Amino acid sequence: MIAVVTGGASGIGKATCTALRAEGFTLAVLDLDVSAVDPGDGGSARVADVSDAGAVEAAFAAIVAEHGRIDVLVNNAGITGGPAATVCHETPVEDFDRVLAVNVRGPFLCSRAALPTMLAQGAGHVVTVASAAGLVAFPGRHAYTASKGGALMLARSIALDYAGTGVRSNAVCPGFVRTPMTQWRLDVPELAAAVEANIPVGRVAEPEDVADAIAVLASGRMGYMTGHALVVDGGWTVR
């Protein structure tokens, strides 16, 4: 089985690669920097910007040429936006566009590139890493919240349009996760305490917590599920 993981060099993506290898998948990893990627036996790693249509098409063509199929696509690559990407009227247009380009255009381009192969196989699963921010708005993160809502609805749209073809689509919606993008906040004791105070289980997620959920979906053990948003947030959204 072949799994394509975008943004597989760090954070949730890196943990997902480890979890999928344990499930028996051969990996094809895409990232802007693959120097730290370990795709495992028989796997591959390629440099690609998921917001670049030409780069995505070339990468997926190479993956199919090398591996012959795509069983699972994990749309994981994402960004939160810089400090300037805050409330709506203060967010620079270029910051908004970049967040949407990676977090929505990226999953669209990668899904678009993978789907013909999945359809030809009569089977496949697109797993998109959205966010709890796609379900409830995160304060001061206008671009990120908008993008993750878009990513979630993209996943649901794919589920609806391809139901009955053997191709499924689901989303995973993490809450606050300890990654290189969030570590700066967790390194400040008062900021870390404020984050944890809003999480009923009392701790932020580790990348492995989210990777486990992705691996369960990818395994096919929940084969009747499609169009679902699997929330992995320690109870944050049920407060």
pLDDT tops 80 at residue 186 = no
Residue 190 forms part of a structural domain: no
Phi, psi angles (nearest 5°) of residue 195: -65, -50
Q: What is the CATH classification number for the domain harbouring 69?
A: 3.40.50.720
Q: Of 159 and 138, which is predicted with more confidence? A: 159
The answer to whether residue 199 is domain-embedded is: no
Asked if residues 65 and 113 have their Cβ atoms less than 8 Å apart, the reply is no
What is the model's pLDDT at position 192?
A: 79
Closest of 154, 58, 163, 41 to residue 108, by C-alpha: 154
Structural domain includes residue 95: yes
pLDDT tens digits, 78-91: 999 888 889 999 99
Q: Is 201 inside a domain boundary?
A: no
pLDDT higher than 90, residue 138? no
Residue 161 CA: distances (Å) to CA of 111, 174, 233? 13, 25, 28
Total domains present in the chain: 1
Find the catalytic residue in 96, 108, 144, 176: 144
Flag whether 188 is in a domain. no
pLDDT tens for 2-11 read 999 999 999 9
Nearest to 177 by CA among 196, 191, 194: 196
Tell me: pLDDT of 183 over 80: no
The range of the structural domain enclosing residue 173 comes to 2-177+206-232
pLDDT in tens, 61-75: 999 999 999 999 999
Look at residue 132 and tell me if it is in a domain. yes
Q: Detail the DSSP E strand segments found in 88-239.
A: 124-129, 167-174, 229-232
Looking at the DSSP bridge assignments, the partners of residue 21 are: none
Answer whether residue 191 is part of any domain: no
Token code pair at residue 157 = 């749209």
Residue 84 placed within a domain: yes
Q: How confident is the model at residue 14, as a pLDDT?
A: 96
Is residue 144 part of the annotated active site? The answer reads: yes
Torsion (CA) 47, 34, 46, 70 in degrees, nearest 10: -120
Q: Which amino acid is at 89?
A: H
